[in-house]
Amino acid sequence: MHERLAGVPPSVTVLNDMTTKIAAGQTTAAAMVAMSNRHFYDTTLKTWVTPWTNEAQSVFEPLNDFTATVIGMIRDDVPFNTVLSGDILYIGQSVSLPTYSYSNNSHYQAIEDQGLDLSSELKRVSQSQITGLPANATAGVLTTRAAAKAFFSGGTNRAMLRFTMMNFMCTDLEQIQDNTRPTDRIRQDVSRSPGGDSRLFLNACAGCHSGMDPLVQAFAYYDYDDAKGSLVYTANQVQPKYLINSNNFKPGYITTDDHWDNYWRHGPNRRLQWDSSLPGNGNGARSLGKELENSHQFA
């Protein structure tokens, strides 16, 4: 158990302690002993979470603010249904570290380079105070620099929704295609007759976009500036990427704000079991994060 959780053999003392607990039927307590080992945080959790932070889903990426925040939340037993909506961030606390910056990863690279113990090094801070984002614009790991670099850079911000659902709800878009949803919120950049065949749009494209586009509108004020290396947030101003390729279908939906609606609360995707206490719509990334993290599929 210790090697499976921490990746290293236990000491004799720890082995005896775990053996005693298991013999007494205290298997959870025994597992907690194993998880107190620093390698559970430095190796096991980092290896588990790192693929969530990049489109290639590679484990070979340095520690970053997304990964560190998830690790810190697990260590501190922070309710995980705040990971996509909380005003939360974990940073290192050693004086030898560069100051956290929204424009580079030097702070976290130094934590890794110095071999600091993540089980004790990380401390919780307010994301809005550290990054300068308005508190209501923070959305847990969705608004970390690492997530922005991976999923807001270029493109149309649809990647942020797709990879969030893959990483936190074990669901890719192909699994939730639904051609019965209204197409009124699909943006202008999606052709209604790809290759000159409207049947392709109706039978394939619309199945994802009819539900995805109304949700992705939550990220309308976000972007990633590759030159500055940082997330960009423009309150009450839609990012130009939401209006690109408008000639593909002029009558398509034009994004004017960050109001989102969850069309997947109806139809076959009700099986994701959305929280009935939530309205199923809102403004901005934080409220969308709450919608996703409080579904049964997330749990």
CA distance 70 to 77: 10
**What are the residues facing 240 on neighbouring strands?**
none
28 & 101 share domain: no
Query: Which domain-ending residue is among 87, 117, 151?
Result: 151
Per residue in 85-126, pLDDT tens? 999 999 999 999 999 999 999 999 999 999 999 999 999 999
205 & 234 share domain: yes
Which pTM does this prediction carry?
0.96
φ/ψ of residue 223, rounded to 5: -155, 175
Residue span of the structural domain in which 95 resides: 38-151
263 & 136 share domain: no
* Cβ-proximal residues to 169 (8 Å cutoff; 6+ apart), any chain: 272, 292, 295, 297, 298
Total count of residues recorded for the chain: 299
Residues of the chain with pLDDT under 50: none
130 & 173 share domain: no
Is residue 298 in some structural domain? Answer: no
31 & 138 share domain: no
Is residue 138 in some structural domain? Answer: yes
Task: Give the pLDDT confidence score for residue 299 in this predicted structure.
Answer: 75
Task: Give the pLDDT confidence score for residue 214 in this predicted structure.
Answer: 98
* The token pair that represents 295 in the structure block: 């579904």
Instruction: Count how many domains the chain has.
Output: 3
Is residue 51 in some structural domain? Answer: yes
161 & 270 share domain: yes
